[in-house]
Amino acid sequence: MCGRYSLTKPEQLKADNRFHLDLFPANLTPRYNIAPSQPVSAILNQAPRELQFVRWGLIPSWAKDSTIGYRMINARAETLAEKPAFRRPLQRQRCLIPADGFYEWQRLDTRKVPHWITLTSGEVFAFAGLWDTWADPKTNTARTSCTIITTTPNKLLAPIHDRMPVILPRESEVAWLSDGLSPEQARALLKPYPATQMNASAVSTLVNSPSNDTPEVLKPELRLRTSKPLSR
């Protein structure tokens, strides 16, 4: 699964405009510990191409209430076409979710060690996501939300966790947002990212709490500082 991630260098989104954005939010700031149910920046397959804030945890348009979103932070690539909550978004409502790292916890003996997984290039990348809009029947307010698609782990992630988020190669990002992409073509893009292009490093257990959204979460625990980062 993917239950926490980071976007510590949001300025990269503007520097080269690699996502071909027309609009940016004014209050985009570094985030070190992004958690479910929080607003996250996403690029929906809509015009104009805009980086906007949506809720992490997909609430289907047909949901009776918003609590279902807490169970919809991730969507398994293998079963997207089978799940009512994801079937229509796979066809019509896909999104990119920019990030520069994500966290997974590795069980070692009696403890779980958090790892920050990044690209070896250090650049911002994009998770493959789905989105939907739900109308709150009490307030008649529209809420847009998203989910991050996961797949089987590559060789780097396999010792840490049995799932990993789908990171789209740069050349697939435009295709993922294309209106002409069929569900079959979309699913074909949902593959594990190459392990040779990723790094994983142990970080502080401060990341365990979503309230700790500071650079300190990226520092290793004192007892782990002699450990080497996992090799590719």
- The DSSP bridge pattern shows strands 125-135 and 142-151 to be antiparallel
Q: Find, among 184, 186, 191, 153, the residue nearest to 169 by Cα.
A: 191
Helix (H) or strand (E) holding 31: strand 31-34
Phi, psi of 176 (to 5 degrees): -60, -35
Active site includes 104?
Answer: yes
Mapped onto helix, strand or coil, the DSSP state of residue 231 is: coil
Tell me if residue 2 is catalytic: yes
Sort 197 into a burial class: Cβ within 10 Å, 0-12 / 13-18 / 19+.
Answer: middle
Choice among 2, 95, 146, 173 that is catalytic: 2
From 95, 104, 146, 173, the catalytic residue: 104
- Dihedral sign of CA atoms 70, 75, 76, 78 in order: positive
Structure tokens at 162: 């049995």
Q: Angle at CA 134, nearest 5°, toward 131 and 135?
A: 155
- Helix, strand, coil percent values for the chain (each to nearest 5): 20, 35, 45
Q: Is 153 helix (H, G, I), strand (E, B) or coil?
A: coil
Q: Which residues are catalytic?
A: 2, 104
